[in-house]
Structure 1
Amino acid sequence: MCLLNDIDVYLQRTGVAETTFGRRAVNDPRLVRDLRRGRVPGPALCARVAAILSARAQ
């Protein structure tokens, strides 16, 4: 899953905890854990996470 890979790279680069990222991104501290366990994100969730990742990368 490309989204999860992008999140993992971001977490490693920034040192942000998984729960902190999920809470900041979509108000769900279990987001990353759930994605690792097979949660399939919808298009709205993907868009929100992608927007946060691209905004933080600049």
Structure 2
Amino acid sequence: MLIRSIEKFLRKHDMPPTKFGRLATRDPRFVHDLRRGRTPGTPMERRVETFMRAYQEMADAR
């Protein structure tokens, strides 16, 4: 489930949900909305997953 992956990502990278939303989707309320039941479409899910993967790769390279 996408929200689970995001929550793990937020804890691992000590990132506020609003920052994640701005960086991943240009929507600072994205995580808040997911927590309240919003269901993103497939393209948005892919966008978020791609962001998390790229961010992790960048963090690993440091």
Q: Taking CA–CA contacts closer than 8 Å with sequence separation of 6 or more, which of the two structures ends up with the larger relative contact order?
A: 1
Could you list the structure 1 runs, at least 4 aligned residues long, displaced by more than 2 angstroms after superposition: none
TM-score (norm 2): 0.87
Q: CA RMSD in A?
A: 0.7
TM-score (norm 1): 0.93
Instruction: Supply the distance in 2 between the matched residues of 1:8 and 1:15 (Cα, whole angstroms).
Output: 10
What is the CA distance between 1:42 and its match in structure 2?
Answer: 0.3
Stretches of structure 2 lacking an aligned partner (at least 5 in a row): 58-62
What is the percentage of aligned positions where both structures have the same residue?
Answer: 40
Instruction: Supply the distance in 2 between the matched residues of 1:37 and 1:16 (Cα, whole angstroms).
Output: 19
Q: Tell me which residue corresponds to 2:60.
A: none
Stretches of structure 1 lacking an aligned partner (at least 5 in a row): none
In the comparison of the two structures, how many residue pairs are matched?
Answer: 57
Structure label with greater radius of gyration: 2
